């Protein structure tokens, strides 16, 4: 796994949350955030994802595919964190 810079994570995290990154990029980002307490704090990734899910649950027009993608991202984050 190629190492990436904390600043790159900060730049990319919004695209990540919007699901705009390629699967490979998102994976690299997830791995870094999971291993880097600084980025986890900075990005509040899990909180942000939870808010996104909450928003799509109270907002019926949110496409089911998007909600599925967000949920699977949360699962991946949770599973990787528990692996530590
Ligand atoms: Zn970092």
pLDDT of residue 22: 93
Distance of CA 4 from the midpoint of ligand 1 (Å) = 8
State the average pLDDT over residues 47-58. Answer: 63
The full length of the chain comes to 84
Strand segments (E) across the chain = none
Distance of CA 48 from the midpoint of ligand 1 (Å) = 17
pTM (two decimals): 0.49
d(CA 45, CA 31): 12
First to last CA, the chain: 17
Distance of CA 43 from the midpoint of ligand 1 (Å) = 10
pLDDT-based confidence at residue 1 (cuts at 50, 70, 90): very low
What pLDDT, in 10s, does the model give residues 59-83? 555 566 777 777 777 777 666 665 5
Distance of CA 81 from the midpoint of ligand 1 (Å) = 15
């Amino acid at each position: 796994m190629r190492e990436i810079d904390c600043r790159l994570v900060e730049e990319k995290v919004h695209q990540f949350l919007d699901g705009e990154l390629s699967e490979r990029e998102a994976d690299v980002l997830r791995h870094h955030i999971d291993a880097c307490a600084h980025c986890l704090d900075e990005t509040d990734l899990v909180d942000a994802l939870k808010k996104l899910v909450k928003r799509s649950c109270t907002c019926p027009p949110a496409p089911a595919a998007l909600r599925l993608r967000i949920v699977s991202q949360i699962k991946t984050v949770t599973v990787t964190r528990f692996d530590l």
